[in-house]
Structure 1
Amino acid sequence: MTIQVPIKNVLPLNTQQMDHIKAVIDECSTSQLIWLAGYFWGLSNQEKNLNGNVSQSEAIDIPTITIISASQNGNARGLAEKLHSSIIDAKLKANLIHARDYKFKNIGQELFFILITCTQGNGEPPEEAIALYRFLMSKKAPDMHSSSYAVFGLGDTSYEFFNQAGKEFDQRLSELGAQRLLDRVDADVEYSELAHVWRIKLIEILKQKIRLSSTDKLPPSIDNAHTVQHTVYDKYHPLHARLLINQKITGRGSDKDIRHLEIDLMQSNLQYQPGDALGVWFENDPALVQELLKLLSLTGEEIVIVKGCSIPIEQALRQHYELTVNTARIVEHYAQISQNPLLIEKINHSCTLQVYAKKTPIVDMVRHAPSKLDAEKLISILRPCTPRLYSIASSQDENKNEVHIAVNAVRFYVEGRARTGGASGYLADRLHEEDEIRIFIEPNNNFRLPKNPCTPIIMIGPGTGIAPFRAFMQQRDYDRATGKNWLFFGNPHFTEDFLYQVEWQKYVRDGLLTRIDLAWSRDQKNKIYVQDKIHDNGNDIWNWIQEDAHIYVCGNANHMAKDVEQALLQVISTFGAMEITDADEFLSNLRTQGRYQRDVY
Structure 2
Amino acid sequence: MNRVLSGEGSAKEIRHYEFDLGDSGITYAAGDALAVVPLNDPALVELLLARLGLDGDVDAGGASLRERMLREWEIATPSKDLIAALAERDPESELAAMVRREDRAAMDSWLWGRDTLDLLEASPDVRFSALELSELLRPLQARSYSISSSPLQSPDRIHLTVASVRHGRDREHGGVTSTYLADRLDAEQTVGIYLQPNNAFSVPEDGERPVVMIGPGTGIAPFRGFLHERAASGATGPNWLFFGDQHAASDFIYREELEAMQASGVLTRLDLAFSRDQVEKVYVQTRMREQGAELYSWLEQGGYLYVCGDATRMAKDVEHALHEIVQAHRGCSEAEADEYIAALKREKRYVRDVY
For residue 387 of structure 1, report the CA deviation from its aligned partner. 0.5
Counterpart residue number, 2:265 = 511
Contact 2:273 2:284 in 1 (8 A): yes
Give CA deviations for 1:552-590 in whole Å, capped at 9, x if unaligned.
000011111111111111111111111222212211110
Distance 1:528 1:514 in 2: 22
Contact 2:215 2:243 in 1 (8 A): yes
Contact 1:327 1:354 in 2 (8 A): no
Distance 2:113 2:340 in 1: 39
Contact 1:519 1:533 in 2 (8 A): yes
Counterpart residue number, 1:321 = 73
Counterpart residue number, 2:179 = 425
RMSD between aligned residues: 1.3
Distance 1:462 1:359 in 2: 24
Distance 1:542 1:571 in 2: 7
In the superposition, relative to structure 1, how do residues 512 and 288 fare at CA in structure 2: closer, same or farther (>3 Å)? same
Alignment pair present for 1:475 and 2:215: no
Counterpart residue number, 2:27 = 271
For residue 485 of structure 1, report the CA deviation from its aligned partner. 0.3
Distance 1:440 1:481 in 2: 29
Contact 2:79 2:136 in 1 (8 A): no
Contact 1:549 1:595 in 2 (8 A): yes
Give CA deviations for 1:124-180 in whole Å, capped at 9, x if unaligned.
xxxxxxxxxxxxxxxxxxxxxxxxxxxxxxxxxxxxxxxxxxxxxxxxxxxxxxxxx
Contact 2:91 2:97 in 1 (8 A): no
In the superposition, relative to structure 1, how do residues 463 and 298 fare at CA in structure 2: closer, same or farther (>3 Å)? same
1:323 partner letter: I
Distance 2:278 2:159 in 1: 32
SS at match of 2:112: helix
Contact 2:152 2:233 in 1 (8 A): no
Distance 1:329 1:435 in 2: 34
Distance 2:34 2:110 in 1: 31
Counterpart residue number, 1:301 = 57
In the superposition, relative to structure 1, how do residues 508 and 491 fare at CA in structure 2: closer, same or farther (>3 Å)? same
2:46 partner letter: Q
For residue 268 of structure 1, report the CA deviation from its aligned partner. 3.1
- What TM-score, normalized by structure 1, do the two folds share? 0.57
Find the structure with the greater CA-based Rg.
1
Which residue, out of 17, 33, 41, partners 1:285? 41
Counterpart residue number, 1:598 = 352
Contact 2:245 2:273 in 1 (8 A): yes
Worse-matched range after superposition: 292-301 or 508-517: 292-301
SS at match of 1:304: coil
1:53-68 equivalence runs, <5 A: none
Which residue, out of 286, 294, 297, partners 1:532? 286
Counterpart residue number, 1:378 = 133
For residue 382 of structure 1, report the CA deviation from its aligned partner. 1.2
Give CA deviations for 1:414-440 in whole Å, capped at 9, x if unaligned.
x52111100101011111211111111
In the superposition, relative to structure 1, how do residues 254 and 292 fare at CA in structure 2: closer, same or farther (>3 Å)? same
SS at match of 1:597: strand
SS at match of 1:271: coil
In the superposition, relative to structure 1, how do residues 330 and 372 fare at CA in structure 2: closer, same or farther (>3 Å)? closer
Give CA deviations for 1:56-97 in whole Å, capped at 9, x if unaligned.
xxxxxxxxxxxxxxxxxxxxxxxxxxxxxxxxxxxxxxxxxx
Identity %: 38
Alignment pair present for 1:254 and 2:10: yes
For residue 334 of structure 1, report the CA deviation from its aligned partner. 2.1
1:588 partner letter: A
In the superposition, relative to structure 1, how do residues 349 and 571 fare at CA in structure 2: closer, same or farther (>3 Å)? same
Counterpart residue number, 1:156 = none
2:67 partner letter: Q
For residue 330 of structure 1, report the CA deviation from its aligned partner. 3.3
Counterpart residue number, 1:575 = 329
Contact 1:334 1:381 in 2 (8 A): no
Distance 1:565 1:327 in 2: 34
Q: Which runs of 5+ in 2 are unaligned?
A: none
Contact 1:277 1:444 in 2 (8 A): yes
2:303 partner letter: A
Distance 1:486 1:505 in 2: 13
Which residue, out of 143, 167, 171, partners 1:388? 143
Contact 1:407 1:424 in 2 (8 A): yes
In the superposition, relative to structure 1, how do residues 582 and 354 fare at CA in structure 2: closer, same or farther (>3 Å)? same
Q: Which runs of 5+ in 1 are unaligned?
A: 1-244
1:255 partner letter: A
2:113 partner letter: K
Contact 2:35 2:194 in 1 (8 A): yes
Counterpart residue number, 1:399 = 154
In the superposition, relative to structure 1, how do residues 337 and 376 fare at CA in structure 2: closer, same or farther (>3 Å)? farther
Counterpart residue number, 1:121 = none
1:77-92 equivalence runs, <5 A: none
Which residue, out of 483, 489, 500, partners 2:254? 500
2:7 partner letter: G
For residue 376 of structure 1, report the CA deviation from its aligned partner. 1.1
- What TM-score, normalized by structure 2, do the two folds share? 0.96
Counterpart residue number, 1:558 = 312
SS at match of 1:325: coil
Contact 1:279 1:439 in 2 (8 A): yes
Runs (4+) of structure 1 moved beyond 4 Å? none
Contact 1:491 1:521 in 2 (8 A): yes
Question: Structure with the greater relative contact order (CA < 8 A, sep ≥ 6): 1 or 2?
Answer: 2
1:269 partner letter: G
Counterpart residue number, 2:120 = 366
SS at match of 2:60: strand
For residue 369 of structure 1, report the CA deviation from its aligned partner. 1.0
SS at match of 1:311: coil
For residue 340 of structure 1, report the CA deviation from its aligned partner. 4.5
For residue 327 of structure 1, report the CA deviation from its aligned partner. 4.7
Distance 2:305 2:232 in 1: 21
SS at match of 2:63: strand
How many residues are aligned here? Answer: 352
Alignment pair present for 1:438 and 2:179: no
Counterpart residue number, 1:344 = 96
